[in-house]
């Protein structure tokens, strides 16, 4: 299946302390989730029409070890399965050669205009 690797630099505003998800100046779990979702979204984007986008649906994540500000996080995303409009991914994140996070993620392909009509 299709794969992609992206790199992200951990910034001060992505720490658990800054994001409010914890008390330490290390990569916040919500920031790791965003990196992983971004990588998955980019991998799928070339397959979508100009009126489509994909939205995150589900994430089963293990955030395994802390990562310091200034570190480079490498994220590998691979499409595991396509079931109609539901796409399943395996995603791993690394700091150097150490795995810092693993996830199974699902995205759903939607028509942008129809999706936005659901806003109230």
Annotated active-site positions, please? 29, 37, 63
Q: Which residues pair with 107 in a beta bridge?
A: 56, 87
Say whether 20 counts as a known binding-site residue: no
Say whether 56 counts as a known binding-site residue: yes
Tokens of 81: 């399965």
Q: 36 in helix, strand or coil? A: helix
In contact, 101 and 62? CB cutoff 8 Å: yes
Tokens of 88: 């399943």
Bind-site residues for CoA: 56
Bind-site residues for substrate: 56, 107
Bind-site residues: 56, 107
């Amino acid at each position: 299946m299709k794969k992609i690797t992206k790199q992200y630099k951990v910034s001060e505003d992505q720490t658990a302390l800054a994001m409010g998800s914890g008390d330490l100046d290390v990569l916040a779990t919500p920031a790791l989730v965003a990196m992983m979702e971004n990588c998955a979204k980019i991998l799928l984007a070339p397959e979508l029409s100009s009126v489509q986008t994909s939205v995150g649906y589900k994430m089963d994540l293990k955030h395994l070890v802390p990562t310091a500000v200034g570190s480079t996080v490498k994220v590998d995303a691979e499409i595991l399965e396509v079931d109609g409009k539901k796409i399943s991914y395996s995603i791993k994140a690394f700091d150097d050669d150490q795995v810092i996070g693993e996830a199974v993620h699902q995205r759903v392909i939607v028509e942008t205009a129809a999706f936005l009509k659901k806003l109230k």
